[in-house]
Amino acid sequence: MQEYDDYEGELPKSKTRVKQEMHQLQDLGKQLTELSKAQLAEVPLDEDLREAIATLHRIKSNEARRRQIQYIGRLMRSADSESIEAVLNRFKERDQQHLRFDKMAEDWRKRLLAEGNAAQSDFFDRYPQADHQQLRQLVRDANREIEQDKPPTNQRKLFRFLRDFFMQEL
């Protein structure tokens, strides 16, 4: 027992820990395969890894896909996994932010259509930089659409207007 207490260096990794790290790298590689081409272009990857991911998208057989994902995991061992994870986390944060904007826009759309002028006044008090005329017109058109039982074209326009407004302002 005394010999371990005197050991000042770092203990070697256990086999289990090494396997866990390899599985984490393989999972990270699998996340890369689920990105769009535009997102993948933003990720710092070497050419072999980029080609392996492109090859995976062409493979149809489940077993071949499984082997290709393992190969991607193997290539991930030599990749800069920290910078790749940073980019993936940035994508996740951006997605969460878009979801928040969508929720805010949907909540305000419902409120503007249900409460009318009181909700519009409240909206303009909170967001004076919003285009008053355009918002009033969209709300008026959406309400007319609801009254006439037409497809929700203007309701969608109102939602998009609000979502785009929140994305620009916040």
How many domains does the chain contain in total?
2
Q: Judge contact between 26 and 70, C-beta under 8 A.
A: yes
Task: Provide the CATH number for the domain around residue 37.
Answer: 1.10.60.30
Of 32, 48, 79, which closes a domain?
79
- Mean per-residue pLDDT for 62-91? 91
Which residue reads 């939602």 in tokens? Answer: 159
User: Do 114 and 161 reside in the same domain of the chain?
Assistant: yes
Angle at alpha carbon of residue 14, lines to 13 and 20, rounded to 5°: 90
Q: Which amino acid is at 121?
A: S
pLDDT at residue 7 in the model = 54
The whole-angstrom separation of Cα 21 and Cα 81 is: 11
Tens of pLDDT, residue by residue over 83-113, are 999 999 999 999 999 999 999 999 999 999 9
Q: How far apart are CA 40 and CA 112, in angstroms?
A: 39
Structural domain of 139? 93-169
Question: Shortest CA distance to 140 belongs to which of 117, 124, 160, 107?
Answer: 117
Tell me which of 32, 49, 79 is where a domain ends: 79
Higher pLDDT, 8 or 41: 41
pTM exceeding the 0.75 threshold for the entire prediction: no
Among 122, 143, 120, CA closest to 132: 120
Based on the domain organization, do 20 and 59 belong to the same domain? yes
Three-state secondary-structure class, residue 45? coil
Task: Please tell me what DSSP assigns to residue 69.
Answer: H
Contact predicate 53/72, CB 8 Å: yes
